[in-house]
Structure 1
């Protein structure tokens, strides 16, 4: 399914956070949202997964206004991993992941074979099958992150909305997660601080700065030295990754942008 964010404006506490934002993620495409801290990335994603109501504009799912859907129907289509990870759940990892099946159930209904298969696949995909019986509260930060990702995968959505999904993950698990997103090929809208990871995994990038989209397109076209200097305030060179051929950003850690 395709996601279109049309002329989105979000304001709260007397401050405009997003103004006239237009973002798209085509069917099966991984679209990244990047930008400096405070640029509005999380606000944009919260609006897409309906945690925030926009002041103006709309979010379309295959042309239909996402706000017009019931909460349960919307949850069948869109799964989210917010930055706010919630409290310490006194549940097992398997129970946390099984919560992703809630949109498909009637009240008090038990798990069926489809539910169980979805949960087991999500556990395996995130490397948590051996930890399924552990309590969530006993997990490390990275393991908790993977458990919540598994919950989103178990939801079997058409669209994934992931806010900094690689937070707390070590290099191996970051790489495995990004590979998994490419293999699964669900329409995905995600924010990333790591620009090299964004360049490697995303088909399209949207750059936010000051609550507005200042550039959109393929990573190689978007991540130029001029944009990195103007938006992120860094001096950098962009070359080809020696192993993958993806754009590789080399930052000058000794001098500021323009220095």
Structure 2
């Protein structure tokens, strides 16, 4: 299934956080959101999984406004891993993961064999198959992240919405998670701080800056030194990864980009933001 965000405006705590965002997460592709802190990534994702309601604009699931769908129906299609984990669950790992089956159950209905198989498979997929009986509150941050991802998998969704899913994970589990996302080939909309991870796992990137989408396209076209300077404020070179051939971003950690470096060149057309600084843009997503 395909997600379309049309002219989205979202306010949070009395402040406009997303202003006129337009993007597409194509069916079966991994679509990444990148941008500096405060650019609106989490707010946009919260709107996609109905935690927030837009002031203007729409989120469409295969052409249907998600706000016209019953919550139980949209929950069967869209599963989310929010950045905030909420309160601690006084439940076992298995009980937390089984909560993902709720959209498919009638009130007071118990588990059946299908539910049990789905829960067991999700725990194995995230490397937590041997921890089903542990208390969720006894887990490390990385283990909790994997359990909550397993809960999203048990919804058997058409669309995954993931907000910084590699938070709290060590390097090995980050690689395993990203490999799992690529092998699943579900429609996935994911925000990532790690630009090299985004370049490796995502089919398409949307760059958010000050609540607006300022660049869209394949990682190799989007992740250019001028954009990295203009949006992220860093000096960087983009080279080929020696193992995978993906774009590899080498950042100068000794000094940020200065104003003369930011936005001085580009590989696509240019436009002008509200601040008057150039940014890379492409045509409407297809």
Structure-1-length-normalised TM-score: 0.99
Structure 2 unpaired stretches of 5+: 262-286
* Structure 1 residue 64 corresponds to structure 2 residue 76: no
Structure 1 counterpart of 2:7: 7
Tell me the equivalent position of 1:92: 92
CA-based RMSD: 0.8
The question of 1:107 aligning with 2:129 is answered no
Q: Which residue of structure 1 aligns with residue 152 of structure 2?
A: 152
Q: Output aligned runs, 1:149-228, within 5 Å.
A: 149-228=149-228
SS in 2 for 1:208: strand
- CA distance in 2 between counterparts of 1:112 and 1:23 reads 39
Q: Secondary structure of 1:117's partner?
A: helix
Matches within 5 A, 1:133-152: 133-152=133-152
Give me the whole-angstrom Cα distance separating, in 1, the residues matched to 2:156 and 2:187.
Answer: 12
Q: How far apart are the structure 1 equivalents of 2:255 and 2:232?
A: 14
In structure 2, the partner of 1:236 is 236
CA offsets 1:182-235 (integer angstroms, 9 cap, x no match)? 001100001000000000000000000011000000000000000000000000
Structure 1 alignment gaps of length 5 or more: none
Between the aligned partners of 1:12 and 1:166, the Cα distance in structure 2 is 25
How many residues are matched?
259
Higher relative contact order (CA 8 A, sep 6+): 1
How far, CA to CA, are the matches of 1:48 and 1:12 in structure 2? 15
1:112 CA displacement: 1.0
Shift of 1:102: 0.3
